[in-house]
Amino acid sequence: MRGLSRTAYAIALMIMGAQALVQYLVHTEADFADKLRPIQSTLQIAFLVFAIAGSSLDRRKSRDDLKEPSPRYSGVAVVVITGATASMVVVRSSYLYALLIAAGTIAMAVLVWHFATAHANEIGEARFPSPSVAD
């Protein structure tokens, strides 16, 4: 099953590359935009199918074996996903704003990484002292 999982992930990455090329052509070549939109939506669906298939075929770890991500990785992931989403929304109206958002996202991700590294012991779930029972 491990080989099938890797194959599904590889196909998903190839589809993502094709999706990036189609997205570029849609934005740069106005003549092809109407012809490429059905291909674009088909590639998105195919990417999701192969990514989910790869994930479901990868059964090497049980849920008990999974560790929670460190605050560094989870904080940076939130910043990068939010910034990438904002950049993709804005790119249709202005490439300059999209680049500014991308640059700000990178700078913020670096700041979050450094902050989470410096305060790693202070970040986490809240731990309250149990009340002592007075008799």
Helix 33-57 to helix 2-28 angle (10° resolution) is 160
Residue 62: predicted pLDDT: 55
Residue 29: predicted pLDDT: 79
Count, in order, helices (H) and strands (E) of the chain: 4, 0
Every domain of the chain and the residues it spans: 1-60, 68-122
Render pLDDT for 71-102 as a digit per residue (tens, 0 to 9).
788 888 889 888 888 888 787 788 899 899 99
What are 112's two structure tokens? 């979050």
Residue 2: predicted pLDDT: 59
Residue 4: predicted pLDDT: 72
Residue 101: predicted pLDDT: 92
Q: Collect the ranges in the chain with pLDDT lower than 50.
A: 135
